[in-house]
Amino acid sequence: MKVGFVSLGCSKNLIDTEITIGHFKNNNYEIENDPEKAEIIVINTCGFIESAKEEAINTILEMAEYKKDKCKYLIVMGCLVQRYYEELVKELPEVDLFIKIDEYDKLWNKIEKLIKEDTIEISTTKPITKVSEMRALPMLTSKEYNERVLTTGENYAYLKIGEGCSNMCTYCAIPYIRGTFVSRKMEDILDEAKILTQKGIKEIIVIAQDTTKYGTDIYGESKLAELLHEISKIPEIKWIRFLYTYPEGITDELIKEVKQNEKICKYFDIPIQHISDTVLKRMNRKTNKKQIEDLIEKLRKEIPEVTLRTSLIVGFPGETEEDFNELYEFIKKARFDKLGTFMYSKEDGTPAEKLPNQINTNTKKSRYNKIMKEQQQISKENLELKIGKEYETLIQSKTFDNKYLIGRTKQDVPEIDGIVYIKNDNYKSLENQIVNVKVTQVENYDLIGEII
């Protein structure tokens, strides 16, 4: 049978999708990219914020239309299912099987049972709704990780080093969906990294909900710096980057490793969320304004070429005009290279859902637009400083008209940040190679350059 996949949400979710594809492929199913031709469609959902939930429901309904033709089975898994299992079973009879995250250790058994016996085993496990009910959800085994089928091409691959989160930010549903933070053993991670290089992968992107927490649960202290160092010893790996580092977890040891290790991209992704101490306290964040400012200053002093990315939330309950203006002025001063902003979304079961002084939608939109307009100008000015400079660039593809090669520098995360367009003078053999490129001009969030 032919099976098609739709993966929604974050890169951590994508890895779960790749593992599921691996199950089907190892059991001799044919992977099909066209949903019209698929006899089985698997959707891995996101349930993080309201817009993600809407996208997931719309995608399920869209894929359900194919059941009128060739599709025999529609399978839905992931975060949305974990959060709203009972409601989804009642409201979406078009779906033949729902699989929650805490059932991933039985994932293939459930799929096999559905397809071979055409029966559905309804789970009686209730979703996690209270902090007291939280627990670490079962991790996929290292063998299952090794059986991933990569969907990101030959350029790069994500490497998940932990599951869940224990930070308990008041706005976030992740702990209730994926449980408390659980690290993978270092030897399993390194084994998987080596297997990824056998597929030609040159760039490893280390991910977890908070990568700075890696090792604290099984080794008693953060082992992120040590893990990055060990990954860098694998000869075939040329670039290493790590994402989602909470500011309080960025240690001097980690900064030193990034500074001294040539393979590690000088890139810190630090989700600060806000800068007002009163807002940070209501968010249950573990840092304050001074600590964040000191960290930014230290990173730029220790690693002058560092690229800094952050994410913010505007419109959090109780955010006053003064709080927002403090954030706005901070953004103008900090001049982040990359910045993403979210309007606060009230999430079921989170403490922030019940906070007083919820902000109206129009105010959220106004604050969002003001931040992003300012950041757009900052980004443009930061990019213009790159004109005339040279950067290592990993070539990943070509434009449709073959006039330009498309690549990324160490300062750009795939699918999130900008790209580099390089005039194609018949450099056909350079795909998936690292070359030196001189930047000649900038265009919005992207660079244009030439090979030197």
Domain at 445, CATH number: 2.40.50.140
Contact 204, 239 (CB under 8 A): yes
Q: In what order do the strands lie in the sheet with 30-31?
A: 30-31, 2-7, 40-45, 73-78, 97-99
CATH number at residue 85: 3.40.50.12160
Domain boundary residue, one of 327, 361, 384:
384
Are residues 352 and 216 located together in one domain of the fold?
yes
Q: Which pair of tokens denotes residue 227?
A: 């893990």
Contact 227, 161 (CB under 8 A): yes
DSSP designation for 61: H
Q: How far apart are CA 349 and CA 351, in angstroms?
A: 7
Are residues 194 and 304 located together in one domain of the fold?
yes
Domain boundary residue, one of 127, 159, 176:
127
Q: How far apart are CA 177 and CA 83, in angstroms?
A: 6
How many domains are there within the chain?
3
Q: How far apart are CA 101 and CA 137, in angstroms?
A: 8
Angle between helices 289-302 and 321-334 (to 10 degrees): 10
Q: How far apart are CA 245 and CA 295, in angstroms?
A: 12
Q: Which pair of tokens denotes residue 248?
A: 């309080």
**CA separation (Å) from 140 to 124, 184, 227, 249, 314?**
21, 9, 19, 25, 35
Provide the β-strand partners of residue 156.
Answer: 203
**What is the phi/psi pair of residue 263, to 5°?**
-80, -25
Q: How far apart are CA 47 and CA 40, in angstroms?
A: 22
Are residues 238 and 151 located together in one domain of the fold?
yes
First to last CA, the chain: 49
CATH number at residue 155: 3.80.30.20
Strand segments, DSSP code E, in 95-153 are 97-99
Are residues 188 and 294 located together in one domain of the fold?
yes
In Å, the largest CA–CA distance within the chain is 64
Q: How far apart are CA 396 and CA 398, in angstroms?
A: 7
Are residues 325 and 350 located together in one domain of the fold?
yes
H or E, element range at 382: helix 361-384
Q: Enter the pTM of the model.
A: 0.91
**Nearest CA among 212, 345, 330, 204 for reference residue 269:** 212
Neighbours of 357 (CB within 10 A): 10
Type of residue numbered 252 = D
Which residue is listed with tokens 């700075």? 212
Are residues 303 and 241 located together in one domain of the fold?
yes
Flag whether 132 is in a domain. Answer: no
Q: How far apart are CA 37 and CA 35, in angstroms?
A: 5
Flag whether 137 is in a domain. Answer: no
Are residues 430 and 349 located together in one domain of the fold?
no
Are residues 286 and 184 located together in one domain of the fold?
yes
Measured in residues, the chain has a length of 452
Q: Containing domain of residue 106, as a range? A: 2-127
3-state secondary structure of 392: strand
Domain boundary residue, one of 352, 384, 416:
384
Q: How far apart are CA 286 and CA 246, in angstroms?
A: 9
Are residues 415 and 372 located together in one domain of the fold?
no
Are residues 318 and 444 located together in one domain of the fold?
no
H or E, element range at 43: strand 40-45
Are residues 158 and 261 located together in one domain of the fold?
yes
Are residues 66 and 198 located together in one domain of the fold?
no
Q: Which pair of tokens denotes residue 402?
A: 């073959």
Per-residue pLDDT of the chain (452 residues; tens, 9 = 90+): 999 999 999 999 999 999 999 999 999 999 999 999 999 999 999 988 889 999 999 999 999 999 999 999 999 999 999 999 999 999 999 999 999 999 998 899 999 999 887 544 444 444 433 333 333 333 344 344 547 899 998 889 999 999 999 999 999 999 999 999 999 999 999 999 999 999 999 999 999 999 999 999 999 999 999 999 999 999 999 999 999 999 999 999 999 999 999 999 999 999 999 999 999 999 999 999 999 999 999 999 999 999 999 999 999 999 999 999 999 999 999 999 999 999 999 999 999 999 999 999 999 999 999 999 999 999 999 999 999 999 999 999 888 888 899 999 999 999 999 999 998 776 666 888 999 999 999 987 899 999 99
